[in-house]
Structure 1
Amino acid sequence: MKKNITKILAASILALATQNFNAQKVVVNREVETTNDGKMLLGNQLKDQFLKEPYSEWYTKEFNEYSLDQKAVGELKKNKINSYNLIVFMGTWCEDSHRDFPRLMKILEEVKFPDSRLTIIAVNRKKESPTGDESKYNVQKVPTIIVEKFGKEIGRIIEMPTTGYIERDLVEILKKDDKSVIKEIFKKEN
């Protein structure tokens, strides 16, 4: 009897674990063919996907031509940007994304930003993704670059950097952080 209960319990735990694992699968590097826009990326993407045609045409050119603000890049390193998470919503059909997404990737490469802390979500012209994350983050325009720490949003860059440089806007966002997020997390636990 005890063996049977143990077997049933083990099978139940295994079934639940498998169910949870399957529920968390996210399709990565989805590409769709559209009537008006041709090939379009949709949903979660890895940065290597932008080195493939037809995206590489605009991505590589902007990445290579962009001159980094080295002072701002130094500030990003000093302010430990690598300890934050970035969620980037962009559209492969969007001219602003064509300009700013490669620039952001160049900045992140320069600061050696860990891929594990970067989420890239490509949306369609209606600003929709297969996972619906755009609703969770209230994304209205692309590109939208969201900076998070401990699961809480610190700030975002919407469509265009206000300073004209993504790296300068990121520095301003990190300066605002000032440990207020940690205070808020501990306030919620009490």
Structure 2
Amino acid sequence: MHKLLLIFLALALGGNSDKTKEISKTTTGTKIQTDMLIGEFEPEELKEEPYAGWFNSVYDDYTPEEKALQTIDENISDYEITVFMGTWCGDSKRETPKLLKILEETGYDMDKFTIIGVNHSKSTPGNMEEEFQVHRVPTIIFSKNGKEVNRFVEYAQQSLAKDIAKIVSGKDYSNSYAK
């Protein structure tokens, strides 16, 4: 009961922040990570603990396909990108580091990039997920002049780089959940 009270108190005191604070507990000797980034945050935060372990290994090991990267480089500057992801989500852990590597390698203007963390219910402060109709993560939304053009949802049709190349070059692309 004492531990539960401490957890509740920690959440209540941190409730004014867009990010939950680090809370970890031990169950039969195993540490369970229960913290996550919620709301808008800076991509660099993923390179810090407790996220660095999964983020940096995927980021460092990923090499985007050259042809797709060239197509992205030629076309992506026209787009604003909004990403909804969960620091707890396996699909987000797989795709988000790759996305950030693609953007870095193409010299994308990160002032046009927004990343938003969701909780396990895929909710955010201010319910931003409702405005963008986000039901799965990661969801990568590509917009021009404030209007959505297309989106990548959860997993690639071919590969992340090839899917993004199709989206930004205006080729026919539908995510796995498009009707």
Q: Residue 44 of structure 2 is aligned with which of 44, 48, 59?
A: 48
Match of 2:168 in 1: 174
How many angstroms does 1:103 deviate by? 0.4
Match of 2:154 in 1: 159
Q: Deviations over 1:30-73 (max 9, x none)?
A: 24345774211110010110111010000000000012111101
Report the secondary structure of 2:119's partner residue: coil
State TM-score, norm by structure 1: 0.73
Answer yes or no: is the 8 Å Cα contact 1:37–1:93 preserved in 2: no
Amino acid at match of 1:32: K
Answer yes or no: is the 8 Å Cα contact 2:79–2:143 preserved in 1: yes
Q: Which runs of 5+ in 1 are unaligned?
A: 1-26, 179-190
1:123 aligns with 2:123: no
Q: Deviations over 1:3-28 (max 9, x none)?
A: xxxxxxxxxxxxxxxxxxxxxxxx98
Amino acid at match of 1:142: V
Distance 1:101 1:111, change over 3 A: same
The structure with the larger Rg is 1
Answer yes or no: is the 8 Å Cα contact 2:40–2:114 preserved in 1: yes
Answer yes or no: is the 8 Å Cα contact 1:59–1:98 preserved in 2: yes
Distance 1:61 1:99, change over 3 A: same
Q: Which runs of 5+ in 2 are unaligned?
A: 1-15, 25-31, 173-179
Answer yes or no: is the 8 Å Cα contact 2:72–2:169 preserved in 1: no
Match of 1:32 in 2: 21
Report the secondary structure of 1:30's partner residue: coil
CA distance in 1, matches of 2:97, 2:166: 20
Q: Residue 136 of structure 1 is aligned with which of 131, 135, 145?
A: 131
Answer yes or no: is the 8 Å Cα contact 1:92–1:98 preserved in 2: yes
CA distance in 2, matches of 1:77, 1:114: 11
Answer yes or no: is the 8 Å Cα contact 2:62–2:98 preserved in 1: yes
Report the secondary structure of 2:103's partner residue: helix
1:85 aligns with 2:80: yes
Report the secondary structure of 1:146's partner residue: strand
Answer yes or no: is the 8 Å Cα contact 1:32–1:42 preserved in 2: no
Q: CA RMSD in A?
A: 2.0
CA distance in 2, matches of 1:83, 1:45: 23
Match of 2:28 in 1: none
Match of 1:17 in 2: none
Q: Residue 66 of structure 1 is aligned with which of 62, 69, 73?
A: 62
How many angstroms does 1:105 deviate by? 0.4
State TM-score, norm by structure 2: 0.78
